[in-house]
Amino acid sequence: MVYYIKTKGWQILAVLLIGISLFLVANQYNSIASRFQAEIQEKTDEAVPVVFLCPQTGYYSFVGEDAVWAAKYAVSQINLQGGINGTPVRLIFKDTRSDQSLAASYFLGASREVPAVIGPIDAPASAGIAPLLEDTGTTSIASYSYEDIRTEYRPYTIAFMNDSEIGEFAAVRLWKEKNPDIKDVVIFTDSEDDAKSDAVSLFQKELPGIGLNILDVVDISGTRSMRRYEQCAIQALNKKADGYISLLSAEDYANVLLQLRKRGVSDGRFITASFSAVSENLLDAAENSLDGTYIWDKFDVNYPGYDWQKLVKAYQASHNGNMPLNNTVPEIYDAVMALCQCYEELGLTGTETDPVSKAKVCGWFNNSPVIHGIQGDFRWENGEKEADYHFFVFQGREMKALQNVPAE
């Protein structure tokens, strides 16, 4: 009996401890949300708040830094023009540190003060806050460029960039149109990246319809080494394909490209790459091996528009003359501009949290009017961003635009 009581006592104590720990953890995140909420309240004094959640540190900082710059730049441009209905816009930014839980806490706090939040811009954190959207009624302009997640949490999920899969297919289709002699292809991918795997599935389904036969899918996942890149290139060359489609990120693509060019693929037109490879790293690593190869992106770094050129100059001024090669720059700029346009058109101050105002904002974004973006017009339909895809061919290491591929 005594033993039973003692054992039972320990069990009860353990349960209590776990319960207290959970409560403390939950409380901790609630307290983070409350603190952020208070911070927003302080900063919305005589200003229209634009809340932006973004990973400036951690794993996704490589996209976060440019996104923050773009958001700040956009806000500065709005204020130069007098703000929204005469009220200046204030950017309230929080570093989510690539942490999903932290992003969710900040979003919770923000949703108590504003009708819409921009970000997070990384897919995992965006997926993490999605379940909170319906309860809070808050619109989230974030990384929702996949049909599945938009459908599940519609109408609150607004993609800040256009669909990557559609872009990949559109680019390959255009590449095929430009090079009709290419019939047999090999695809390079990384199975550790779900987005790339989804693109491969799409290719396997759609490419035969445009006259392309997939001979092999080369998976580069695992430990990276020069021998690994050689093996991947050799695996592709062994298939005697006419063309090579790369879904790889910059460093991987650069190394594979060098191997292909070294081993007989003398004409660059036989190779096309994904927007995920576009970066300064690619240009530095691959250099003239890029010549003649194809690539696509969600924006055109050489877009001639005045606003874009102005942005480029501002970017170069603060980035040692480097070009803004990250697509989050125009995307976040457009997102901030669109939010301000929404507040202006709806006559909101950006601090409305009543259900009616939140619903209005949500409705505006879900099926938006045509918006004049920094690189052309775009709109949202059912949360999906419909904007042009940009297709390029390299001349040396310069990306020359071929044509824009309209969104479908």
Partner 1 sequence: MKKINGKKLFEKIQEKRENFYNPTFRNPLRMRNGLWIGFLIFSAIAALLFWSVLYMYYEVTYRKQITDKLVDTAWEITGLYGAADFERSISILTRSNNYFAQVISEKDNRILMSYTNEGVEGGTQSSSIAGDDIFTKLDDTDGYCFYYAEDDSGNSRWAVEAIVLANVDGYRHILVLSCSTAEIDMLKQTLMSRGGISLAVVLALSAVFAFFLANFYARPFRHLNDAAGEMAGGNFDTPFIPEGPKEAVQLAETLNLAEKEFRATEQLRRDFVANISHDMKTPLTVIRIYAEMIDAFSGGVPEKRAEHVKKIIEETDRLTELINELMELSSLQSGTLKLQYEDFSMNELIHNVIDRIRIKDMSQGIEIQLVADTAYMVHADRQLIHRAVYNLIHNAVKYSGESKVVKVKLIPQNNQLLVQIIDQGIGMSQEELKHIWERFYRSPDLGNQIRGNGIGLNIVSEIFKYHHIPYGAESRLGKGSTFWFII
Looking at the Cβ atoms of 236 and 348, the one nearer to partner 1 is 236
Cβ atoms of 252 and 282 closer than 8 Å: no
Helix (H) or strand (E) holding 389: strand 389-395
Q: State the minimum distance, in angstroms, from the CB of residue 235 to partner 1.
A: 4
Residues present in the chain in total: 408
Q: State the minimum distance, in angstroms, from the CB of residue 296 to partner 1.
A: 25
Looking at the Cβ atoms of 17 and 226, the one nearer to partner 1 is 226
Looking at the Cβ atoms of 102 and 265, the one nearer to partner 1 is 265
C-alpha 284: how far from chain center: 23
Residue 220 neighbours by CB under 8 Å, 6+ apart = 188, 189, 190, 228, 229, 232, 248, 252, 256
Q: State the minimum distance, in angstroms, from the CB of residue 241 to partner 1.
A: 8
Q: State the minimum distance, in angstroms, from the CB of residue 218 to partner 1.
A: 8
Q: State the minimum distance, in angstroms, from the CB of residue 223 to partner 1.
A: 15
Q: State the minimum distance, in angstroms, from the CB of residue 209 to partner 1.
A: 25
C-alpha distance from residue 337 to each of 18, 76, 211, 226, 358 (Å): 46, 11, 41, 44, 18
Looking at the Cβ atoms of 159 and 265, the one nearer to partner 1 is 265
Residue with tokens 């932290």: 102
Query: Which regions of 55-110 does DSSP assign to beta strands (E)?
Result: 89-95
Roughly what angle, to the nearest 10 degrees, separates helices 328-346 and 61-80? 40
Interface with partner 1 (CB under 8 A): 226-227, 230-231, 234-238, 240, 262-265
Residue 216, both tokens:
């092999």
DSSP SS3 for 57 = coil
Cβ atoms of 214 and 183 closer than 8 Å: no
Residue with tokens 């006592």: 9
Looking at the Cβ atoms of 186 and 277, the one nearer to partner 1 is 186
Looking at the Cβ atoms of 227 and 313, the one nearer to partner 1 is 227
